[in-house]
A and B are shown apart, each in its own frame.
Chain A
Amino acid sequence: MLNFIVRRILTSIPVLAVVVVFVFLLLHLSPGDPAAMLAGPYAKAADIEKIREQLGFNAPLIEQFFNWVMQILRGDLGVSIFSQKPVTLLIGQRVEPTLALATVTMVITIPVAVSIGVLAAWKAGSWIDRGVMAFAVVGFSVPVFIFAYLLIYGFSLGLDLFPVQGYKKISDGFGPFIYHLVLPSITLSVIFIALIARITRASMLEILNEDYIRTAYAKGLHERKILLHHALKNAGVPIVTVIGFGIVLLIGGVVVTESVFNIPGLGRLVVDAVMKRDYPVIQGVILLFAAVNVFINLVIDIIYTAIDPRIRY
């Protein structure tokens, strides 16, 4: 087990290394002078020179790369061109809303998705099943911001139940905090519920055909016990795995949802940085999100190896 964990951690390192190299090359291999590009079309020569100086573009490429990697390893993501503040500081200020949005989204998603997935598999072929499958296809097809506006239209403008946009810190009180997060989280959870419900259903259907399920029925066990205890437990691994795959979707969704609901999180930070061509900030957020993605998948792999004795490496 320990052996597996160590090996699994080691395989994440090259992935992160590729991300670092790629993000670096992205800036330096793009056509044209990177300093001029970052300065924008209306910059003066002096501004371009200042950016070149600040980002160390005058050094040879290899040296720049080496310096940059050392800098990242020290936990320094550079300085924002626009605000002249350290990128780590800017990220630090924006972590809470994003983390809150992602957490509340998962808290909504997992119980809903797993229960409708189990329900669909249990009643396979019925209208409930067809309804869940139709929802899964639609939920996966309708872009996040369209759900966002439909929900705002219905619940904020129509019924006046929730605020149209905005964010309250958790330190401002738990009530207002959750109140502002309900619509964004529901918006973001739709695509996830669609994805996880579909996998849950497929995985459950496979398990429900197993001999031991027939045996459980033959023993006269209660149906609920069979579904939740015998079947769902064994269907768990694909469900947990898809949550890992879904992290990329979640991050993409966060960027959009934060923009629609005006939540000052990391997604907004990166979108604002694009407008200002603030590449150090974009770079920093990408590195952070890629690292989070790799880390969560690492943890998920380790967890399901730990909980499922059938998986041996």
Chain B
Amino acid sequence: MIEISGSESSMPAGDARRNNAWVQLRRNPAAMAGAIILVIMAVTALFAPYLATDPTNMSPVDRLQPPSAQWWFGTDMYGRDIYSRTLHGSRISLAVGASVAILSIAIGLAIGLIAGYIRVLDAIILRFMDGLMAIPDILLAIALIALTGASLTTIIIAITIPEIPRVVRLVRGVVLSVREEPYVEAAISVGTRLPLILIRHVLPNTIAPLIVLATYNCASAIIIEAILSFLGAGVPPEIPSWGNVMAEGRIYFQRAPWIILFPGLYLALTVLAVNILGDGLRDTLDPRIAKRM
């Protein structure tokens, strides 16, 4: 949901404001809670092999065990430990979320700068982005995966492509508003070259809104990855991603709801944490961004 008014003035971000933003963010309890949850998630994901048993270890005797002291989150139809599978699943989700956020911002930033600065290409790029935005992101990702086959890399690419147009539109809007600013005109008049203008004057203005957009892209990537896996179009089934674990639990839902509920809870909590961190960043980094998002 981004509306770019284009008329808002922006100032280059300074160190003072960045420090100020950090202080304010610390005062925002929801955003801090989001950040803390994410840090815990990232640490447990990183050390998953030490915190849990092998997620692929089958034990037919222990199949469909309810949650207990031995099996914290219960077991699935092959007697695999859901706790271990959930913890290992967070590795996939966080990796996909972070990669898509970084990739979509980097690519979108480059295209957005080009669109904002090269008039001839602007209309073409915008039309193309409008067309991409018209295709529902899940369907676009599904089509890409159907064509290329599912692997972690293709899934990251398939989720990144639909996220790019929003970044392009945001960056282009910032560029268009900044290029009319007196300090950019001054820079041009003293003969500063275009690359330097982009790096010194335009780029800093895009940082704050892009950080916020990155969190939203990350949240939506985590959801889409889980949906793709859940529908059977995601990472290969032998990899324990949250979506895969839940998909396997579907037919056992009446007997063993924990197979779906625990990974689902983790998924919801992660996305919630990313979103409230994003909202917190939006409110503290620059209140004017709130109007653009």
Complex Cα spacing A146 to B267, Å: 9
What's the Cα separation between A19 and B130 when bound, in Å?
9
Q: Does A227 sit within 8 A of B, measured CB to CB?
A: no
Q: Which of B70-78, B132-140, B170-178 contacts A (4 or more CB under 8 A)?
A: B132-140
User: By CB atoms of chain B within 10 A, which of A17, A146, A256 has the most?
Assistant: A146
Report how far A260 CA is from B226 CA in the complex, Å: 14
B186 at the interface (CB under 8 A from A): no
Give A274-313 interface residues, CB cut-off 8 Å to B. 274-275, 277, 279, 282-283, 285-286, 289-290, 293-294
Q: Once the chains are docked, how many angstroms separate the CA of A152 from the CA of B257?
A: 10
Contacting pair A283 B143 (CB below 8 A): yes
Please report the C-alpha to C-alpha distance between residue A100 and residue B22 in the assembled complex, in whole angstroms. 48
A118-146 Cβ-contact flags toward B at 8 Å (1 or 0): 00000000000000000001101111111
Main secondary structure of the interface of B (DSSP, over half): helix
Q: Chain B residues near A153 (CB, 8 Å)?
A: 253, 257, 261
**Stretch of A24-32, A88-96, A105-113 contacting B (4+ beta carbons < 8 Å):** A24-32
Residues in A with CB closer than 8 Å to B260 are 146, 149
**Interface residues of B, CB < 8 Å — how many?**
47
User: With the chains together, A146 CA to B253 CA distance in Å?
Assistant: 12
Indicate if the CB atoms of A255 and B139 lie closer than 8 Å.
yes
- CA separation between A275 and B233, bound complex, in Å? 8
**In the complex, are the beta carbons of A149 and B261 less than 8 A apart?**
yes
Contact of B233 among A142, A242, A274 (CB under 8 A): A274
Using known A-B contacts A141-B272, A157-B254, determine if residue A282 contacts B146 with beta carbons closer than 8 Å: yes
Residue A18 at the B interface, CB < 8 A?
yes
Q: Do the beta carbons of A252 and B137 come within 8 Å of each other?
A: yes
Q: Is A213 an interface residue (CB 8 A)?
A: no
Which B residues, 141 to 161, have Cβ-Cβ distances below 8 Å to chain A? 142-149
Contact pattern, B 205-221, Cβ under 8 Å of A = 1, otherwise 0 = 00000000000000100
Given known pairs A137-B276, A252-B137, A256-B231, the reply for A27 and B128 (CB within 8 Å) is no
Residues of B within 8 A of A248 (CB): 133, 136-137
**Interface status of A116 (Cβ within 8 A of chain B):** no
Q: Please tell me the number of chain A residues within 8 Å of chain B, measured between CB atoms.
A: 55
Tell me whether A282 and B142 are in contact (CB under 8 A). Answer: yes
Distance between Cα atoms of A22 and B131 in the complex (Å): 8
Write out the residue numbers on chain A whose beta carbons fall within 8 Å of the beta carbon of B83.
none
20 CB < 8 A contacts A-B: A15-B134, A18-B132, A31-B148, A34-B147, A145-B230, A145-B264, A157-B254, A164-B254, A199-B1, A255-B136, A255-B138, A256-B230, A273-B146, A275-B232, A275-B233, A279-B147, A282-B142, A283-B143, A290-B134, A290-B136
Q: Is the CB of B231 within 8 A of A259?
A: yes
Residues of B in contact with A (beta carbons under 8 Å apart): 1, 127-128, 130-140, 142-149, 219, 223, 226-227, 230-233, 246, 250, 253-254, 257, 260-261, 264-265, 267-268, 271-272, 274-276, 279
CB pair B143–A23 under 8 Å, yes or no, is yes
> Does A173 have its Cβ within 8 Å of any Cβ on chain B?
no
Asked if residues A146 and B279 are in contact (CB atoms below 8 Å), the reply is no
Chain A interface main SS type: helix
Contact of A26 (CB < 8 Å), options: B128, B134, B147, B227: B147
- Bound complex: CA A196 to CA B167 (Å): 23
Residue among A19, A146, A242, A277 making CB contact with B131, cutoff 8 Å: A19
- Chain A residues in 8 Å Cβ range of B145: 274
Instruction: Give the contacting residue for B231; candidates A141, A157, A255, A277; CB below 8 A.
Output: A255
Interface pair A143/B227, CB less than 8 Å apart: yes
Q: A51 to chain B: closest CB distance in Å?
A: 13
B275: nearest chain-A partner, CB-CB: A141
Query: Would you call A181 an interface residue if the criterion is a C-beta within 8 Å of the partner chain's C-beta atoms?
Result: no
Contact A252 B136 (CB under 8 A): yes
Closest A residue to B253 using CB positions = A149
Q: Taking the nearest CB of chain A, how far is it from the CB of B118, in angstroms?
A: 19
Task: Tell me the smallest distance from the CB of A241 to a CB of chain B, in Å.
Answer: 9
Contact partner of B135 among A14, A27, A289, CB < 8 A?
Answer: A289
Q: Once bound together, how far apart are the Cα atoms of A289 and B100, in whole Å?
A: 24
User: Which residues of chain A are near B130, meaning CB under 8 Å?
Assistant: 14-15, 18
